[in-house]
Amino acid sequence: MNRKTVSILTLALLAACSPPPDEGQGGVQLANRLDPIMSAGVVDEEHTNVLGIVTQMGGGIGACTGSLIAPNMVLTAHHCVASVPAGPIFCGRTAFGNVVSPNNVFVTTNTQIPFNGRGLIGVREIHVPQPNSDVCGFDIAVLILRSSIPEGTATPLTPRLDDFPLRGERFTAVGYGTDERGSQSGTRRMLENREILCAGSNCGRFGATSRELVAADGTCEGDSGGPPLDAEGRVMGALSRGGEGCVYPTYSAVAGWADWLKEMAVLAADVGRYDLPGWVT
């Protein structure tokens, strides 16, 4: 998520989508602090179930990505809705700050984030597995929307909860980022034929926890919270961070949070008054 201090919403949204320069040496970087993302991606009008997220935080506006996994339930990154210290992130030492008010978070299904603020959908509740936790391994969050998104607008994605992806497995990354010229920020883009490097307990040497997965490519496939979609179109995670220079993008894996996500889905269904999605039962 990119943050800029501004006074007008329109200018804030425009500025928020441009990533700032690196802020230090060593450690890893949250996805909002990485080099321009989706650099080789193409504009994506297909995945209306991958949402743009706008957050008001610390006097500024931030932009992130999320996955609609139930009519009123969005999967994203914890750092998209909570404060984090400036500069590099050190696993085991850097913790999240407090979660923002739901009144400060909005989502959109539009291909382009509406810079005039029109068409944004409000958030009713924000849930994280553990407040003020370590950034590494806990960078996942669920938003429950104030109203359900009609299936005619966006059909919810299915999270892949039963297993972690295998090394070499290919996926498509989707997110609201910049193109190779650093322009078109706030536009949903996708990169196909990305490759999984490791997942779960096999990722320790890359500084990832057993609840994460790492991509092999040196580009950052997707904005903060954005999904890697497997060959069946299922969500495998939410983009968290990467090494300096945007190498080894690391995702919070949904397979590592299956029970928690099912609990959140029950809560969301109760709020939205609809039957539980098939992936819950």
Q: What letters, b where the CB count within 10 A reaches 16 and e where it falls short, cover 1-31?
A: bbbbebeeeeebbbbbbebeeeeeeebbbbb
Q: Is 279 within 8 Å of 234 (Cβ atoms)? A: no
Strands (E), 138-183: 141-145, 170-177
Q: By three-state DSSP, how is residue 152 classified?
A: coil
Per-residue pLDDT at 221: 44
pLDDT along the chain (281 residues), means of 10: 33 30 47 50 92 88 93 97 85 92 97 85 97 93 98 98 96 77 71 93 90 78 83 97 73 98 99 98 88
Q: Give me the domains of the chain, ranges plus CATH numbers.
A: 2-18+27-34+48-156+256-272 (2.40.10.10), 170-255 (2.40.10.10)
**Which DSSP string corresponds to 129-149?**
SSTT-BSTT---EEEEESSPP
The one-letter amino acid at 86: A
Per-residue pLDDT at 29: 63
Q: Which two tokens stand for residue 99?
A: 């979660």
In a 10 Å sphere around its CB, with 0-12 CB exposed, 13-18 middle and 19+ buried, how is residue 147 labelled? exposed
Per-residue pLDDT at 250: 92
Per-residue pLDDT at 20: 30
